[in-house]
Structures are given as C-alpha cells and as structure tokens.
Amino acid sequence: MGGTGAERRRAGWRLAWPAGLALAACSGSQSALDPAGSEAERVAQLFWVMLIGTGVIWSLVIGAAVYAARVRPGPHDPAISRRLIHWGGIGLPVLALTALLAYGLQLMPELRAAGDGLKIEVSGEQWWWRVRYQTADGRSIVSANEIRLPAGERVELTLASPDVIHSLWIPNLAGKVDMIPGRVNRLVLEPTRTGNFRGVCAEFCGASHALMAFAVVVVTRPEFEQWLSQEAAAATGASSAELRRGAVLFEQVGCGGCHAIRGTAAAGTIGPDLTHLASRRTLAAGILPNEPAALRRWIAAADTIKPGVRMPSFGMLPAADLDAIVAYLASLE
C-alpha cells in the first residue's frame, strides 16, 4: 500500500491548496463494505455472494474461451458446441439469474418497511443539508449538516430539495435516495451499532457537488434523548465581553439575514441554523474540521473553499472583528 509514501505525497499536495487547507474526513467512516445499518448489512452480504458467483462464472467463461482459442484449438465435435450454447448461453443463466432475482427482490419490502416513530426531514440544498427532527411526541427541532440517530431504531427520513436534484447517501447505513424538487422521497435507516459515519450527496448538483457531505452520529437512545433536548434549547448567552462583541458583530454584519441562532435576533432561514454550531463535528457541510482556525478561513473566504457557494466572503472585515465572530460562533455549544 505504501502508506508512508502516500502520506508524504499527500502532505505535499496539501500545501498546494490556495487556502493551505485540506478537506476534513475526520467525521467518520464512509464505506458500504463496513456496514453499520440493517440495510447496508444485507446489501453487503448480497454483494459478497454475488462477487463469489461472478468470480466462478467469469473463470468458467474465460476458461472455456482460452481452452477453445489457445489450449486445444479444435476442431471439436459440433455436439459439444451446441450443448455449450444451450446450457452455457441459456439453461444455466436462466437458473442462476432466477435464483439471484428472487434473492435480491425479496430483500426489498423488508428494507423499505416503515419507521418506528422518529422522523427526520432532510432538505438537500446547494451545498448543505437542512435537518429537522420530528419526534413521536410532537417536538420539532431544527439543525443542519449533521444527522444523529439512535441505534437499533428504524428512523424515517423525508427527503426533499428546493433547488436541484441531490441524493442522500450514508454508505455504512443504507443505499441512497434522491432528493428531487417537487417530490418528497422516503428512506428508512436502522443503524445497528453506535459510531461516527459520513454521508454525502451522490447526485451531481453543480459546482461544489464534491463538497456536500455531512456527519452521521449514531448513539444510544439515552444519549440521543440528551442530545436532542440540548439541541432543542436556545443558544446560551455570550458569557464574556469578547463573545458579546462577536454577537453584536454577527448581527451588524448581517449574518442573521441568512442564519438563525435561536435565542438571539438572528432568524434567517436561507443558510444553516447555527444555534449549536460548536457542538457539530464538522463545518461547511462535512468538509472542514470544526475548529476555530477553519471557521475563520470559512467566514473570510467561503467561495475559495466551496466554489459557487451562496455565502459571501467576509475577508474584508478587520482581523479583530473576524476573531470576535469566530470566538462567538465557537462558543455556541
């Protein structure tokens, strides 16, 4: 694999980034072959079975061709050839494919069965995710760019989009479902173990399609409850002069026109809700580590990090003002 060589190369390329910036993958695993959800488990199993079948069939077909062309070039009895077409071309494929179809299709109803109560509305927007939790007891809690799920429960995701087609894909948990303007699609997730995972947009959605990811955090039910009540609360007030200055600047610069921080005057709905920004695992829809330096770069030059992004860059602000806004946002746990 050449781990160290690759590491060094990567470091070299990292320097090539204009903002001296590497994208963050720290949010967790993103592999369909490392399943952590009931659907992903069944499909991974289906894949391994099919992979074995593919290996066997491929070897037989290519073996037959090599035998006929190189190992023992004919002429052979035409009866053998006739049987080869009848059985190899028709008989065996019909049997194998029928069995495979039955195996594959009987999974479907089970995989897309209804959820247990918790619903999450996810809206894919260029290029971030608007998330709203609808609990069975009627609470409705807004968040963004991160999905928390209780392990062992079937959670129904309602998927929509106001702009272009996106597709929500968390490979560790399940297959993808498109988010299509004018339509509402559904996806049911059933995580089987706790952990951190990564989801992405799988449908090409414009300039920064590559930069539209999100963190998926699977926790136990009690942890989920605790997190949800924290998420539902308004932002804690700014506790120091510097933070208060940041809060004032946030308002003065006009951030609240797009972003909401519940408990303050900021109530914009164009961009992600920032009420508990600091408690999220990533920034800018799964592409930056959630640390003040990255946040500062993002606010100063969002469009160099995410080409075409609708958020303006605020690099023209005095450094001290930027620092204050960053400090304030970093305090929003």
Partner 1 sequence: MTASADDAALDQARQQAQAARLRQVWATPGGWRYWSAVNNSEVGLWYTATAFVFLLFAGLLGLLIRVQLAVPDNDVLSAELYNQVFTLHGTVMMFLFAVPVFEAFSILILPEMLAARDLPFPRLSAFGYWCFLIGGLFVCGSIFFNAAPDGGWFMYPPLTTDLEQSGIGADIWLLGLSFIEVASIAAAVELIVGVLKCRPPGMRINLIPLYGWYVLVVAGMILFAFPPLIAGDILFELERLLDWPFFDPARGGDPLLWQHLFWIFGHPEVYIVFLPAIALLAMIIPTFAQTPIFGYSWIVLAAVGTGFLSFGLWVHHMYTTGLPAISLGFFSAASVAVAIPTGVQIFVFIATLLVGRATFSVPMLFACGALAIFTLGGLTGVMVALAPFDWQAHDSYFIVAHLHHTLIGGVLFPIIAGIYYFYPFITGRKLSDRLGRWAFWLMFVGFNISFVPMHFTGLRGMPRRIFTYPSGLGWDWLNLVSTIGAFILAAGILVLVLDVLRPKGRQPYVQRNPWRAGTLEWLTEMPGEDWGVRSVPIITSRYPLWDQPDLMRQVDEGRFYLADAEEGRRETLVTSVLDAEPMQCLRVPGNTFLTMAAAGLTGAVFIFATFHWWLATAVSAVLALVAIVAWLWTGTAIIPEKPSKPVGRGLELPLYASGPDSVGWWAMFITMLGDMAAFASLVFGYFFYWTIRPDFPPGPDAGPGVAWPFLALSLILAAWALTLAARRWNRQGLSQNLQLALPLAALLALAGTAALLAGPWQAGLQPQAAVYPATVWLLAGWTACHVVIGAIMQLYGLARSLAHRLTPAHDIDIRNIALYWHFTALTAVVTVAVLALFPKVA
Instruction: Report 45-104 residues binding partner 1 (CB under 8 A).
Output: 46-47, 50, 53-54, 57-58, 61-62, 64-66, 68-70, 73-76, 78, 80-82, 84-85, 88-90, 93-94, 97, 100-101, 104
* Cβ count within 10 A of residue 327: 19
The residue (of 22 and 330) whose beta carbon lies closer to partner 1 is 22
Q: Assess 165 for contact with partner 1 (CB under 8 A).
A: yes
Among 128, 129, 133, 169, binds partner 1 (CB under 8 A): 169
d(Cα 63, Cα 104) in Å, to the nearest integer?
28
Q: Where are the alpha helices (DSSP H) in 112-240?
A: 221-232
Among 221, 308, 319, 320, binds partner 1 (CB under 8 A): 308
Can you state the angle between helices 292-300 and 319-330, rounded to 10 degrees?
130
Here's the x/- map for partner 1, 240-279, by CB under 8 A: it reads as ----------------------------------------
Among 36, 40, 255, 299, binds partner 1 (CB under 8 A): 40
Minimal distance in Å, beta carbon 3 to partner 1? 8
d(Cα 90, Cα 114) in Å, to the nearest integer?
39
Among 125, 146, 190, 203, binds partner 1 (CB under 8 A): 203
Minimal distance in Å, beta carbon 64 to partner 1? 5
Among 118, 120, 122, 200, binds partner 1 (CB under 8 A): 200
Site residues (CB under 8 A) for partner 1, limited to 105-144: 105, 107-109, 111-112
The residue (of 80 and 136) whose beta carbon lies closer to partner 1 is 80
- What phi, psi does 260 have (nearest 5°)? -105, 140
Residue 75 DSSP class: -
Q: Which of 140, 176, 174, 137 is nearest to 154 (CA)?
A: 174
The residue (of 21 and 248) whose beta carbon lies closer to partner 1 is 21
What dihedral angle (degrees, nearest 10) is formed by the CA atoms of 303, 306, 312, 315?
-50
- Binding-residue total with partner 1 (CB under 8 A): 99
The tokens describing 253, both together, are 């610069």
Asked if residues 286 and 196 have their Cβ atoms less than 8 Å apart, the reply is no
CA distances from 57 to 65, 95, 156, 319 (A): 12, 13, 39, 64
